[in-house]
Structure formats: C-alpha cells, structure tokens
Amino acid sequence: MAHPSQLGFQDAASPLMEELLYFHDHALMVVFLISVFVLYIMIVMISTKLTDTLSSDSEEMEIIWTVLPALVLTLIALPSLRILYLMDEIDDPHLTIKAVGHQWYWSYEYADFDDLEFDAYMILTQDLLPGEFRLLETDSRAVIPFNSPIRMLTSAEDVLHSWTVPALGLKMDAVPGRLNQLTFIGARPGVFYGQCSEICGANHSFMPIVLEIVPLKNFIDWTLFMKA
C-alpha cells in the first residue's frame, strides 16, 4: 500500500515485482554513473584551457565512444529481455480468473468453478468503515490462494480499461473483443489495491481493484461461501 510522500515503489508481493525492482535499481545505477561521467567531462572541458591536437582526430577515441555506449545498452537490455520472457511465461496455472472492465466497475469470473462470478463496485465515501481507504475499497474482493500460479484474463465490455495492481507488478489492458492474459504468484498473504490505469471516461477514478491473497483453506471456504 502506497503512503503519502512515498518516493519509491511499493513493497514487492510477487516474484515478478521483485525482479522488476531489481532491474529498476540496476538501470538507475547505470544512468547515475553515466550522468556523473558526462557531468565530469563537461566540467573538465569548460574549466581547462589545455588542448591536445591529437585528441581532435583520434580513431582510438572514436572506437571508445562507439563501443562503450553499446556495452552499456547491452547491460540494460539483457536483464530487460529476461524479465519480458518471465512476464509472458505460462506455467500450468492453478486458477484462472477473468476480469471484465465496465464503465465503471469490474466483474470477475472464476473459470474453474461453476457459477462463481460477481461485480466489484467502489464503496462510496459515506459508506466506508473505520480503517478502509477512500476510492480504493470495493464491495466485493477478488480472492486468490497464497503461493499458487494464477492466470488472469482481462477484457472489456465497452471502452479500454487497464487492470493494475502495483504491489504485484501487474498491469494489463482490457480491450473490448479481445482477451489478454498475465500470470503471477502471490508471494505473501494480504490485501492489495489497484485502480484502472487507462482513461475510460468520466468516472475513470472510481473503479478500484482489491485483490486479497489468503491461504488455500481460507480460499476454499470463501468459494463455498460465494457459491452459497
């Protein structure tokens, strides 16, 4: 859960988000070193009055400033490609959920269970209970089992939406007439919040996402309760 004046990311709640955080730190360090090096060169060139006629026409210098950026790009590209392949990997999911975006609420269908589907509307401010978050709580939560591979299918009924849960590193567009999919594993139990991340109309800010990760026994009890 994000908090006011937070500068960094939310704590990772899935292995994929941990990989994204590591890659962010790696890329940020590369950018920082490049910035320091360029700033140093600029200061040296501005402050010094010495010139070298050999450096103005040097094949060695040209090779260095061509090869060095290529190496830097390789250092960034290889981890990035690895994460892209991890994000697209589908490895025998234990549960499949379909999230359909509407103006302006989400509906969920549990494909592995008969007649287990529901709509999730935002709870109005005047109806919130103590401790609940404004603009983030819904009347029904999507519940998944802890430490199980989950496949999430996203689509939309009217306009473009985007199903996003930052703490899990999840963001997938919901497109009318199309099914997109993503996979993830909840690494720890808890309640995680997200919002539609695609401008979808007047009430775009009022279709939150609440995902609750629970132990398997609690998940089974929840499915029995929902079907009853």
Classify domain 95-227 at the CATH class level.
mainly beta
- Write out the two tokens for 46: 């501005």
- Tell me 224's DSSP state: H
pTM for the complete prediction?
0.84
Could you tell me if 213 and 175 are in contact, meaning their C-beta atoms sit under 8 angstroms apart? no
Q: How far, in Å, CA of 201 to CA of 160, rounded?
A: 9
Residue 190 C-alpha from the chain's centroid: 17
Could you tell me if 182 and 145 are in contact, meaning their C-beta atoms sit under 8 angstroms apart? no
| Nearest residue to 152 (alpha-carbon basis) of 185, 177, 123 | 185
Task: Determine if residue 143 is left, alpha or beta; phi over 0 gives left, psi from -120 to 50 gives alpha, anything else beta.
Answer: beta
The residues spanned by each domain of the chain are 15-49+57-88, 95-227
| Nearest residue to 17 (alpha-carbon basis) of 146, 165, 168 | 168
- Write out the two tokens for 47: 């402050």
* pLDDT tens-digit profile, the chain (228 residues): 777 888 888 889 999 999 999 999 999 999 999 999 999 988 988 888 776 666 666 778 788 888 988 999 998 999 999 998 888 877 788 999 999 999 989 999 999 888 899 999 999 999 999 988 999 999 999 999 999 999 999 999 999 999 999 999 999 999 999 999 999 999 999 999 999 998 988 889 899 999 999 999 999 999 999 887
